[in-house]
Amino acid sequence: MSKTLRRVAIIGGVRIPFCRSGTLYADLSNLDMMTAALSGLVDRFNLKGAHVDEVVGGAVVTHAKDWNLAREAVLSTTLAPSTPGITMMQACGTSLQAAMGIAAKIAAGQIESGIAVGSDTTSDPPIVFSKKFARRMTEMAGKKTVMERFKVFSGFRPGELVPQPPQTSEPRTGLSMGQHCELMAKKWEIPRVEQDELAYESHKHAAEAYVSGYMDDLVVPCAGVFRDNNIREDISLDKLATLKTAFDKSDTATLTAANSTPLTDGAAAVLLASEEWAAERGLPIQAYLVDAQHIGNDFVSGDGLLMAPTIAVSKLLDRNGLTLQDFDFYEIHEAFAAQVLATLKAWEDPEYCKNVLGKDAPLGSIDRTKLNVKGSSIAVGHPFAATGARIMANLAKLLDQNGGRGLISVCTAGGMGVAAILESPKAKTMDVAA
């Protein structure tokens, strides 16, 4: 029996200020930050004591003790204890993927409300010992006598205690994300100057968003911090041009620390609901989540680690009968300036669109004045799992203020891409799937 799907409302979102790794949040855990973001959301939308049908999200860099992170964060807030928490992870797409799952359940009538959340800290990474020493510790836990436990360490060598730092390289290639993006920059012939210009614009837009007061209801204080500490209001293109490359020291390298996202600590949350639930609580709707798509690519064979969003967006456009130009705002996550520029160039390239996207003609170019108009990850930072929720909350507010339609594109580790379409309640048409 067919059933008309309900529209999924985005009520709004908040985040804590994002801070560079090892700085102002050095003593905070993922649970601390996720709780702070959730509590800010509860306060903003008067959810104290309220039951929310589910809170979904997680963190990319986690400790074993964080196996129930979302639920523990819920229990650390004033949400009703009946609110379940679901911990999940899809690298940099985590909180956007969480929103997709919540939205599907709302649309189908299974739930009425949900919160997508993400938190990440590279200041508090899990440090583990060698596998050999770990096996000794596991074996020792099963021994009953002191002598039996002592025998477990027969043949022990001090080298077993050398810490194993977290790995940031792709397991399939052994290359870091930055190294992969250098390959993309070379393949797509993305000049250093264009990367620096995009980074410059990101910082300028982000700084203005704070100065204008735009960020006032999107950011809640945490640990005495009131704004992101990576934004550079005094950034200059001349200074950017002097920086050394970060991931490749060859003469053809173009990626620097400044045109790449910094390691960042932070958390973000966004509230989604049915129209009925929002009306019952007297909560205005900022935007609707119309549709979303995720997909992977064969980056191991050279498709480009961060190019999967080009495919996700193409499929999303087809399903909704839209063109790439049918948007008033574009929110493309800035993992690297080169990745954003390669994405835009791929959509303009006839050969790529034909061979990879199966198109007879290129998707075309976008109006760059509509891209990341309040800055993005290069400026504000990128706590991996939190970025999707940050972007969704920001775009929902833009649409609430200006009307229209917006596109989200997020690349992730592992050669995956997540994309979504948001639309303002003020939009002329609302296509509802049935």
Task: List % helix, strand, coil for the chain (3-state, nearest 5).
Answer: 40, 20, 45
The DSSP H or E segment spanning 402 is: helix 387-402
Q: What is the largest CA-CA distance in the chain?
A: 77
Tell me which residue has tokens 């050279």.
Answer: 302
Q: What is d(CA 405, CA 409) in angstroms, rounded to the nearest whole number?
A: 14
Q: Are the beta carbons of 50 and 278 closer than 8 angstroms?
A: no
Query: What are the start-end ranges of the E strands in 238-386?
Result: 264-274, 287-296, 329-332
How far is Cα 99 from Cα 396, in angstroms, rounded to an integer?
A: 13
Q: E strands within 297-404?
A: 329-332
Q: Which of 174, 266, 179 is nearest to 220 (CA)?
A: 266
Catalytic residue among 19, 181, 353, 411: 411
- The span from the CA of 40 to the CA of 217, in Å, is 10
Distance between CA atoms of 136 and 264, rounded to whole angstroms? 34
Its sign, for the CA torsion 181, 183, 186, 187, is: negative
Query: Residue 182 — φ and ψ, nearest 5°?
Result: -60, -40
Say if residue 6 is exposed, middle or buried (CB neighbours under 10 Å; 0-12, 13-18, 19+): middle
- Given 92, 181, 222, 353, which residue is catalytic? 92
**Which residues, in sequence order, are CB contacts of 102 under 8 Å at separation 6+?**
54, 56, 111, 114, 115, 116, 272
294 flagged as catalytic: no
Place of tokens 């000049």: 191
290, two tokens: 């119309």
Q: Tell me the residue length of the chain.
A: 434
Is 92 in the active site?
yes
- Per the residue annotation, which of 203, 205, 294, 382 is the catalytic one? 382
Query: 411 catalytic, yes or no?
Result: yes
Count Cβ atoms within 10 A of the Cβ of residue 114 and give its class: 0-12 exposed, 13-18 middle, 19 or more buried: buried
Q: Mention every residue, 6+ apart, whose C-beta is less than 8 A from residue 361.
A: 350, 353
Q: Catalytic amino acids? A: 92, 382, 411
